[in-house]
Structure 1
């Protein structure tokens, strides 16, 4: 257990150090908010799509699609679990009525991409029982990408109108067909369609150089995304908003403690029912996705709606600071659990 905790701590520490570099760059005036916005757009429209195409095209096969179907289903179930946890947090902490949806949404939607990507790859690279599996990290990235095929539409299709008290028809098409989702579908298509696989993906394929170039571009996603996250979290709001301290703490307990506990129960139930694939990286991704802090895109939604920006900013600051400890702890628990189940 101590070995699992130390491996998890070092993996989380790697993420924290990169985020701190982003904070330092902002505090020294080397980068500013405009640069972070531009870098975020670069990640969204180029770097992340390239990563998804490169990883999914190499991993997707027809035989995998049935097993992978559990990932988007799990994303939908996690959102449902999160809404239940959010309702419990609201009932216990009694935030102002105008902020109850904010608390519920922050419980339901986690940072399902930019934290799981580096954390899962770091755990795969350092866990002793995965030392003989060099492809574990790439499979983890592929699983996270498929998970996001459902989580991203849920975030924008449910979270966006929920925070704005708007009907679903207020959404625009780009909220569902974002560049990463389109890229993930392309990557799956390149992997499972034989003639496309032979043209782009197979060793010696005529257009293999395009996939290789996409892989090189995609390698920059994780450090750049963590730098942006650290830069955004460095700008602490001057006031605490209208949300009481008990609500911030209750939300952190719900998102960072109760949700991972539900994730463990869920994964154990899948294994008991014979629904969990044998690849330990599959279970690790499901477990990590349950333990991440609130989604940073919720702040974008609050800014678009012009309401509760300060409260949401503090929710993200508190969640991410406490997640340093909780992710280290839960990561160790996850690795220990999977080593026992292996």
Structure 2
């Protein structure tokens, strides 16, 4: 496959995303006013609760079987390593650059997560159709197995994204709102100083999430004696993980795995003679709206982001360097090592998928999370703009390198 042919194949889905995002930006301008802030929030909730779960269920129930899950077990480890190394490098970048506290989670999440479903669902079948690819001459078989790889990648990536990245963005929202509350309290204190508070007491803010808050003063010794036990912290952490695993996308992935792995359940939904095929068709119809809706919202957020974003250029450069230089090199080492140890099948397309997972731009679901928690939306849009622009070149270069290695 020639370089310019590969350039066209790899950049086409990214260009499509940029075009749809531009349309979303135009819809959010004062000229049209179709994607206001409230509209984008409502649409994001629909994407989170309906569209994304539908897309994951429709893809997994159709393309992934139990045998596939057993044979492709290393993909779970591989995606976990992308989050591990990306999150570690993102954490180092945060410590060096010292961004605003509410941006720390966004930066680490963008470094750790990748677009493990949407882009692969477009890129892999397109690569399989090209003559001269290292994945065999049977384009139809390559496209079919590639779709299965991409679907499994999307589901496993969704699991990590809606647990790890979700928690990072949620923590950023807590920091952001705590900062706003602190500034508000400081303003009140400056206007009405309270001389009754002594140095031997600690002021606690109890905020139940409403606009009203209660400020109480406790002696220092009493506060220290009421520290939560380690067991209580562990229980709370497990409860938090369980709560995040119950998110609609994760539940849909589990159900999709179940229907795909159990033949008689799969026969109820999949196939021209399936008695409940209308359900699968309806779910797929809903899932098809995921990518355009997310991209339109991303473009709408971009309008405000370009006006009011506090994101520094050094932060954007650091994320791009981590995503498109450090992680792909690490990915090549991980896959070659796993292959040398006999942990992978001999399919070069499978090896290609594992490598390309380290070179993808940030997951678009992060934009949904920032909208859900109402934090760092503008910064997320600007960060996505530059990372996806650079991805047009980066994906092409690394795809060429990966295919050359696997040829």
> Could you tell me the TM-score, scaled by structure 1's length?
0.80
Distance 2:33 2:402 in 1: 38
Taking the TM superposition and a 5 Å limit, the aligned residue runs for 1:1-342 are 1-2=2-3, 3-27=5-29, 28-29=31-32, 31-33=34-36, 34-90=38-94, 93-96=96-99, 98=101, 103-125=107-129, 129=133, 131-133=139-141, 134-151=143-160, 152-157=162-167, 160-161=170-171, 164=174, 169=237, 171=240, 174-241=243-310, 244-298=312-366, 311-338=379-406, 340=407
Higher helix share: 1
After superposition, give the CA deviation of every residue in 1:90-114 in whole Å (9 maximum; x if it has no partner).
Answer: 46x5435846565444322334444
Query: Does the 8 A contact of 1:4 with 1:333 survive in 2?
Result: no
After superposition, give the CA deviation of every residue in 1:301-320 in whole Å (9 maximum; x if it has no partner).
Answer: 66777766665554334333
Pick which of 183-192 and 95-104 moved more: 95-104
Query: Does the 8 A contact of 2:269 with 2:277 survive in 1?
Result: yes
Deviation at 1:196, TM superposition (A): 1.5
Instruction: Give the root-mean-square deviation of aligned CA atoms.
Output: 3.5
Distance 1:258 1:244 in 2: 21
Pick which of 298-307 and 45-54 moved more: 298-307
Distance 1:59 1:271 in 2: 24
Distance 2:124 2:348 in 1: 11
Pick which of 185-194 and 4-13 moved more: 4-13
Query: Does the 8 A contact of 1:120 with 1:284 survive in 2?
Result: no
Deviation at 1:332, TM superposition (A): 3.5
Query: Does the 8 A contact of 1:114 with 1:225 survive in 2?
Result: no
Deviation at 1:266, TM superposition (A): 1.8
Distance 1:44 1:305 in 2: 12
Distance 1:278 1:104 in 2: 34
Extract unaligned runs of 5+ from structure 2. 179-232
Cα distance change of structure 1 residues 137 and 16 upon mapping to structure 2, 3 Å threshold: farther
Query: Does the 8 A contact of 1:94 with 1:247 survive in 2?
Result: yes
Determine helix, strand or coil for the equivalent of 2:305.
Answer: coil
The size of the alignment, in residue pairs, is 337
After superposition, give the CA deviation of every residue in 1:34-55 in whole Å (9 maximum; x if it has no partner).
Answer: 3333333333322332222222
Distance 2:129 2:303 in 1: 29
Determine helix, strand or coil for the equivalent of 1:275.
Answer: coil
Cα distance change of structure 1 residues 305 and 51 upon mapping to structure 2, 3 Å threshold: closer
